[in-house]
Every structure is written in C-alpha cells, then in structure tokens.
Structure 1
Amino acid sequence: MIVVDKLCYRSKLRYVNAGEKFVFSMVTLLFCIISRSFLIAAIAFFVNGFLVVKKGGISFGRYIRLLAVPFTFLILSTLAVIVNISRVPLDAYAVPVGTFFITGSRESLWFGMQLIGTAMASVSCLYFLSLNTTMTDILDVLDQLHCPEIMIELMMLIYRFIFVLMETASSIMVSQKSRLGNRNLKISIQSFGQMGAGLFIRALRRSNALYDAMESRCYDGKIKVLSVQHPVKKKEVIMIILYEFILLAVWIGGKM
C-alpha cells in the first residue's frame, strides 16, 4: 500500500463523517487561495497540523517528512522570484559577484513568503483530507455532490492502477537487482529504460484482464463500492462553521 493509504486507515479521524472533513478542507483551501493572506495561511497550516498529529494520531516526524517533499519543490521554484541577477543592487540584499549582484527586493521577498505560505497551507488542507479519509469515502462524497459519473469512474480506476503499476514495477526492479542490473550508472539507465518499456506492456495486459474480469461480473459502466455512512455530529459542524467564520473575519480585518 501507499504510505498515505496506510496512514488514513490507521487515523483516529477515519470514522468522522467524510462530508465534514471534505467541507472543512475544501473551504479552508479556498480561503487560503483566494485571500493570499500570510496570517490565514499560518492559521490553516498549524490547525491542520494539530488535527492530523494530535487528533488523527499520525506521528509528528512522519507528517514533517510528508511536508518536506512539496516544501523542497516550493523553495526551488520560489528562488526564481526572490533571487535576481542585476547590475543594480536592490533594497533587500545584494551579494556582489564581479560586475553583477545576486540581489532581491523586499517586495519580492514578501511575495515569495506569501507564495510559500499559501502553497504549504493548501497542501496541509489536502493532507488533512487524504491522511484521514479513505479514497472510497472521498469518491462517495463526490458522488453525493453529483459530480459526473465518468470522472468518479476514472478516479477509481486510476487509483486502482496505481497499486497495479507499483506492484509490477517492484517485481521488475527486484528481478533486475538479482541479475546485477544496477551495478553501474550506464547499466542502471539501461535497466530503467527496459523497466519502463516492460511496465507499459504489462500495464496494457493487466488493464485488458481487469476489464474482462469486470465484464464477467456484469459491469454496466459504474463501479459499485460498499460504503459506510458515519453520522454527522452537531458539535463538529458547529466547530467547523466557527473556524471558517474566524478565517473570514481575519481576511476581512486584514483588508480594512
């Protein structure tokens, strides 16, 4: 299983109503994106972290490692905003390199911080949903929201094939390692290319076999999955509404 799947099945918040978690994460995500407020992003980031670690029971170290992946990409992509090469030094910092300066302005630094804050808060909203809600529950919520059936079917099939491809790729890599297929860089690159080609062919075969199996079980264009409906709790709904109103108040207060 994927690490995120393992964590969501072990989460203490797994049996909280999926609709509540979906609304909480999506509304908070919209506030983060639309407001572009560093304060709202900070509040959302720490609240989501508290819920995932303290309420969900996921270890703090594991959560930080999961956040480190998007944070690394954000830092690398934001360098283009906060770092400039110019003949004229800007007001935030300036490092002379020959006749040029590696420099940046205060405005660009603040914009970069806002960008990182908004993106990390948005990621934390999605992590809250994915680390505490199973994929079948999420798809069930989308079905209740009357999302197009074709989109839900594709999501379900793609989700299923992630595991199929991972299992197939893992078996190919074990076979290559047992034959010293990674003993140097050149052979490793060749092995990787061969694995990609073999994975593509096997994926086509597995997809045909899967479709035949579905047809033999009276597949009518819709995958039916049993889902358990967890009750909506008034206390949790009230807390969500109060939290979103606080974010709205902070946003309005920041504009005044």
Structure 2
Amino acid sequence: MTLIDKLCYTSKLRYTNAGEKVFFSLASLCFCIISRSVLVAVTVFFTASWLTIRKGGISPLYYVKLMRIPCAFLMISTIAILVNISRHPLNAFSIPFGSWYITGSWHGIHQGIQLILTALACVSCLYFLSLSTPLTDIIAVLECWHIPWLIIELMLLIYRFIFLLLEIASSISCSQHSRLGNKNFPTSVKSYALLASSLFILSIRRAGNIYDAMEARCYDGRIHVLKEQHPARQKEILFLILFEIFLFFLTIFHTDILELWR
C-alpha cells in the first residue's frame, strides 16, 4: 500500500459522501482550467489544501512532501516560458551572452505564474480526492453517473497494476542493493537498465498469472467490488453549492475584480 492509500484510509473525510467529494474536485478543477485566473487558482488551492489538512487530518509534512513532486515538474516546464534566448533584450530582465541575451518579459512571467498556480490548484483538487476517497468509492460514484463500465474497469486494473509494478521493482532493487549493484555510477546505470528489462518481463508474467486467477474465480468480464453508502449532509451540500457558485462568479468577473484592486 502506497503512502497516498494509507493517508486516504486514515483520513477524517473517509466516510464523507463520495459523490460530494468527486463533484467538488472535478467542478473546482474545471473552473481552474476554464478561467485560467490567478484568483480562482489561489482560492481553489487554499480551499482544497485546507480541507485536506484541517478537515481530513492529513499531516502538513506529508502534504508538502506530496506537493514537491508536481512542483519540481512545474518549475522545469515553466522555464521555457519565463526565460528566452533572443538577440534583443525584453522588458523584465536580460543577461548578455555574447551577441545574444538570456532574457524574459513581464508578460511571460505573468503567464508562468498563472500556469504554475493553475496547475497547483488542479493538483490540490486531485490530492483532496485521492487523500480522502478510496478507489472503490470513486468507482461507485462513476457507476451512479452511468460512466461506461469499460472505462471503470480499465481504471481499476491500472490502479491494481501500479502496485504490482511497484512490488516487483522494489524486490529487484532490494536484490541489486544487497549485491552492491549501485556502488558507483556505471554500475548504477547498468543496474537500472537490467531492472527496466526485468520489470517488463516479470510484469507481463505476473499479469498473466493474475488473469488466470481471476478466471479461476469465475471472472465474467466485470470486476465487482463492495460498496459503502454514506449519506450526504445538508451542511456539506450547502457549502459545496455556495463554493461552486462563488467560483462561477470569480470566473466571470475576475478581470473586473483585478481592475478594482489596481
């Protein structure tokens, strides 16, 4: 079981209605993507983070640890927007490099900040959902929304095989470490290449074994999971409706609000 699953099953929001949590995450994520507004992104990020940490009881240290992964990718990906190589300096900053300039514009910086905040807000919505709702509850919600069963089953199988790959990779890596397979850089490169090839072969073999086990247990093309019913509370529904209405108005009038602040 991964850290996310352990935190999910110990969350205080574990037994909150799953439909509410799925709707909150997806609706807030859609508002972030549609609006591309800094105000909407900041509002969604702090609200989702507050619900995850304060209401869900997740440790802030674990939450920051999980957020470092997307932050690292975002910082690398936004360098192309913030920094340009040009013969002419731009208005934000410029560093001469021969006849060229390593430079950037205020428009590019604004776009980069907007992209980072929007992406972090979307990630916080997904973390809120994954750190408070088990996959079986999400599947139950998708069934109620009449999502095609093929998509749901693919989600379940992919989720299961993530753990399968992690288990095989951990066993191979432990074996390599015990044989000093990472004592220096060339040995480490060779070990990782062997791990990748072995992982591919062993995962196919284990997948075949799992499918045989499923057929031995009367697998008929659908995976059935136990469902738990947690009724929605009026207070939670009211908060959800008011928050999404607030995001809707922010999405429409965010430019006017920024002009008023200026």
In structure 1, what residue type is equivalent to 2:211? Answer: Y
Distance 1:164 1:87 in 2: 51
Structure 1 unmatched runs, 5+: none
Query: What does the per-residue CA deviation read over 1:95-137, in whole Å, with 9 as the maximum and x for residues that have no partner?
Result: 2233322211111111111111111111111111111111111
SS in 2 for 1:246: helix
Q: How is 1:175-186 mapped onto 2 (pairs within 5 angstroms)?
A: 175-186=175-186
User: Deviation of residue 254 (structure 1)?
Assistant: 2.0
Q: How is 1:135-174 mapped onto 2 (pairs within 5 angstroms)?
A: 135-174=135-174
SS in 1 for 2:78: helix
In structure 1, what residue type is equivalent to 2:143? Answer: D
Distance 1:196 1:101 in 2: 41
Instruction: Name the structure 2 match of 1:50.
Output: 50
Query: Is residue 33 from structure 1 mapped to residue 33 from structure 2 by the alignment?
Result: yes
SS in 1 for 2:102: strand
Instruction: Name the structure 1 match of 2:102.
Output: 102
In structure 2, what residue type is equivalent to 1:193? Answer: A
Moved more, 179-188 or 227-236: 179-188
Distance 1:88 1:69 in 2: 35
User: Deviation of residue 17 (structure 1)?
Assistant: 0.5
Instruction: Name the structure 2 match of 1:214.
Output: 214
Structure 2 unmatched runs, 5+: 257-262
Q: How is 1:16-31 mapped onto 2 (pairs within 5 angstroms)?
A: 16-31=16-31
Distance 1:89 1:208 in 2: 59
SS in 2 for 1:5: helix
Q: How is 1:42-81 mapped onto 2 (pairs within 5 angstroms)?
A: 42-81=42-81
Aligned-residue sequence identity (percent) comes to 54
TM-score, normalised to structure 1's length? 0.96
RMSD between aligned residues:
1.2
Count of residues in Structure 1 that have an aligned counterpart in Structure 2: 256
SS in 2 for 1:221: coil
SS in 1 for 2:85: strand
Query: What does the per-residue CA deviation read over 1:116-174, in whole Å, with 9 as the maximum and x for residues that have no partner?
Result: 11111111111111111111111111121111111111111111111112111111111
Distance 2:143 2:172 in 1: 37
Q: How is 1:101-120 mapped onto 2 (pairs within 5 angstroms)?
A: 101-120=101-120
User: Deviation of residue 245 (structure 1)?
Assistant: 0.7
User: Deviation of residue 255 (structure 1)?
Assistant: 4.2
Query: What does the per-residue CA deviation read over 1:165-201, in whole Å, with 9 as the maximum and x for residues that have no partner?
Result: 2111111111112222222222222222222222222
In structure 2, what residue type is equivalent to 1:144? Answer: C
Moved more, 21-30 or 203-212: 203-212
TM-score, normalised to structure 2's length? 0.94
Instruction: Name the structure 2 match of 1:229.
Output: 229
Distance 1:194 1:123 in 2: 33
SS in 2 for 1:101: strand
Moved more, 91-100 or 139-148: 91-100
In structure 1, what residue type is equivalent to 2:5? Answer: D
